Amino acid sequence: MCNPVITPHLYRTVFDEATNGIMITDARNNILSVNRAFTEITGYTQDEVVGKHPRLLSGREGTAFYQEPWEGPGVSGRWQGEVWNRRKDGAVYAEWLSISAVRDEQGDITHYVAIFSEIKEHLPAAGQVRRLAYHDPLTGLPNRALLYDRINRLLLQARREQRPVAVLFVDLDYFKDVNDLFGYAAGDLLLQAVAERLQNCVRETDTVARLGGDEFVVVSALRRAADAPEVAQKIAAALARPFLIHERELYLSASVGVSLSPCDGEDAETLIIAADLTMYQAKQEGGGYRLRSARALEQASEEAVSVERIPAFLISEDGGLKTEKRSVY
């Protein structure tokens, strides 16, 4: 029996007719070839991208993400995850991206192969399952799995640029009272409103995630560690405004713990645990926020570290709402 022959023509046909976008680069990430689906999704023809760097497509990730974007495949041979890219017409879109390293007989990387598909609202069942695996179903925010991936990628970028990364662990105070007094539907609406507030008070390049319950995490690359209190204060100010839920104004407070790389850790899990422990300390001491890193506290001014507590959620005797403010430092 004769072995089937895979001809170059067949390879090219499979490459061109694939429904997923395909991009091949050399070891330095210079684009060598793209397929027809790549052009249909991005709007760029092969002639427009050959010889250029994939950062040409950078969307919400920012161009810095594409300086050495595929360090993961360089070590493990493969990386996959959700990224935001930009089409030729400027429109930003989400895609699921898989990157594989191609090695020669000596084990040296010679090429990278990137395969991606656009993530749309009308995803088929398999795509919906994949999205649910990486996003919180209530708020649409990244969940723990995607958060860890985002932090570790940001840490790679921050190490190159010698910048700190802040991880802020946000825990809502008095949230159980909302559920008990107004029901779980009101609690869900409040969590969605909190998620929206957090997203609106940080930069596009920052990540806001929900770990579950009333716990959120904000991740931000900073110019210097002393900028961390400003980020915490922006979060406090955003959550201090009343939330209108079922025609009632609700006031919350939040306890925030802040950890910083590289002082408090150099990987996602260590930084989240450090921020969580610091948040618990802040909660035990009456709310507000705390920075874990003593070095960051020394760099930050005394004025920046002081913060007024977010209005506390209280119910008055007549069923209305009132607030109480305390100072923490």
CATH number at residue 65: 3.30.450.20
The per-residue pLDDT for 7 is 76
Q: How many other CB atoms sit within 10 Å of the CB of residue 180?
A: 10
Instruction: Answer yes or no: do 48 and 119 share one domain.
Output: yes
For residues 117 and 230, state if they share a domain.
no
| CATH number for position 163 | 3.30.70.270
Residue 259 lies in a domain: yes
Any domain includes 1: no
**Which residues pair with residue 80 across a beta bridge?**
98
Say if residue 294 is in the same domain as residue 199. Answer: yes
Domain assignment present for 139? no
| 3-class DSSP state of 2 | coil
Q: pLDDT (tens digit, 0 to 9) for every residue of the chain, 329 residues total?
A: 555 666 777 878 888 889 999 999 998 889 999 999 999 999 999 999 999 999 888 766 555 555 544 555 555 567 887 788 889 988 888 888 889 889 998 888 899 999 999 887 544 555 556 667 788 989 999 999 899 999 998 999 898 889 999 999 999 988 888 888 888 899 999 999 999 999 998 888 899 999 989 999 999 999 988 888 889 889 988 998 899 888 888 888 888 999 999 989 999 999 999 999 989 888 887 766 566 654 444 444 333 333 333 333 333 333 333 333 333 22
Question: What's the per-residue H, E or C state across 216-239?
Answer: EEEEEECCCHHHHHHHHHHHHHHH
Question: Which pLDDT value is given to residue 110?
Answer: 92
> How far apart, in whole angstroms, are the C-alpha atoms of residue 224 and residue 33?
40
> Domain check: are 186 and 127 in the same one?
no
Is 185 inside any structural domain?
A: yes
- Single out the catalytic residue among 136, 149, 173, 214: 214
Residues 182 and 301 in one domain: yes
C-beta neighbour count of 135 within 10 angstroms: 18
Distance CA 225, CA 121 (A): 38
Residue 82 sits in the same domain as residue 194? no
In a domain, 2, yes or no: no
What domain range is 246 assigned to? 144-328
pLDDT of residue 246: 85
| Judgement on whether residues 35 and 124 belong to the same structural domain of the protein | yes
Taking the C-alpha atoms of residue 294 and residue 258, their distance in angstroms, rounded to an integer, is 11
Shared-domain flag, residues 125 and 151: no
Picking from 97, 115, 134, the residue at the C-terminal end of a domain is 134
Fill in the amino acid letter for 138: L
**So what's the pLDDT on residue 310?**
32
Q: Which residues of 239-266 are buried (b: 16+ CB within 10 A; e: fewer)?
A: bbeebebeeeebbbbbbbbbbbbebbbe
**Claim to verify: residue 98 and residue 223 sit in the same structural domain:** no
154 and 187 both lie in a single domain: yes
Q: Name the domain count of the chain.
A: 2
Tokens of 147: 């958060």
pLDDT score, position 307: 36
CB neighbours of 92 closer than 8 A, spacing ≥ 6?
59, 60, 84, 85, 86
Q: Tell me whether residue 214 is one of the annotated catalytic residues.
A: yes
Report the C-alpha gap between 62 and 85 in whole angstroms: 9
How high is the pLDDT of residue 5?
Answer: 64
Q: Is residue 254 part of a domain?
A: yes
Determine the pLDDT at residue 237.
86
Where a domain ends, among 102, 134, 166? 134
Does 191 share its domain with 298? yes
pLDDT in the model for residue 295 = 44
What pLDDT does residue 204 have?
Answer: 85
111, containing H or E segment: strand 109-118
Are 190 and 265 found together in one domain?
yes
Q: What is the pLDDT of residue 72?
A: 52
Q: Which one of 107, 134, 161 terminates a domain?
A: 134
* Position 3 in a domain: no
